[in-house]
Structure 1
Amino acid sequence: MNDKSLLDHIHELVAEEKTLRAAQHTVSSQDRQRLESIERELDQTWDLLRQRRAREEFDENPDGAAERKVDDVESYLQ
């Protein structure tokens, strides 16, 4: 996956998240689960994009970046 496809995927997830949040007053439990899933997937995708960009910055192959487990990404300190 290249940077553009990662960014495209991020934009798709953000658009879906906005749609679900706009209907917050009528959100079903399934919608809440999907929102949580989107949040986790966004964190993973942003992490992968940051890894790729860091590798590029230090003249390493960005394709060597690997998606990390949700638990790893979610436990990062902000």
Structure 2
Amino acid sequence: MTEQDILGRIKELVDHEHELRAQATRGELDPKTERQRLAELEVMLDQCWDLLRQRRARIDKGDSPDDAQVNTAKQVEGYLQ
């Protein structure tokens, strides 16, 4: 996955987030489902941003960015704890 691929995926996820919020505003989505889906999207976005940071750090160190790997949701969400 290239940096452009990751940025494209981030854009897709953000667009999906906006659509979910619009559906909720129109009453097409109940609040519980909205919260659940938004939480899932947030984790996927965090994983994408983490992967992007890993790739950029590897480039800065002179290492191959292709060796960066997607971290688990548990690991990415646990960084601030």
Normalised by the length of structure 2, the TM-score is 0.84
Which protein is bigger by CA-based radius of gyration? 2
Aligned pairs for 1:1-78 (under 5 A) are 1-25=1-25, 26=27, 27-28=29-30, 29-77=32-80
% same residue: 46
**How many angstroms does 1:23 deviate by?**
3.0
Distance in 1 of aligned mates of 2:57 and 2:47:
15
Give the C-alpha shift of residue 35 in structure 1: 1.7
- Aligned residue pairs, count: 78
The worse-fitting range, judged by mean Cα deviation, of 48-57 and 16-25 is 16-25
Query: What is the root-mean-square deviation of aligned Cα atoms in Å?
Result: 1.7
State the AA in 2 paired with 1:68.
Answer: N
Calculate the TM-score normalised by the size of structure 1: 0.87
Residue segments in structure 1 that go unaligned for 5+ positions in a row: none
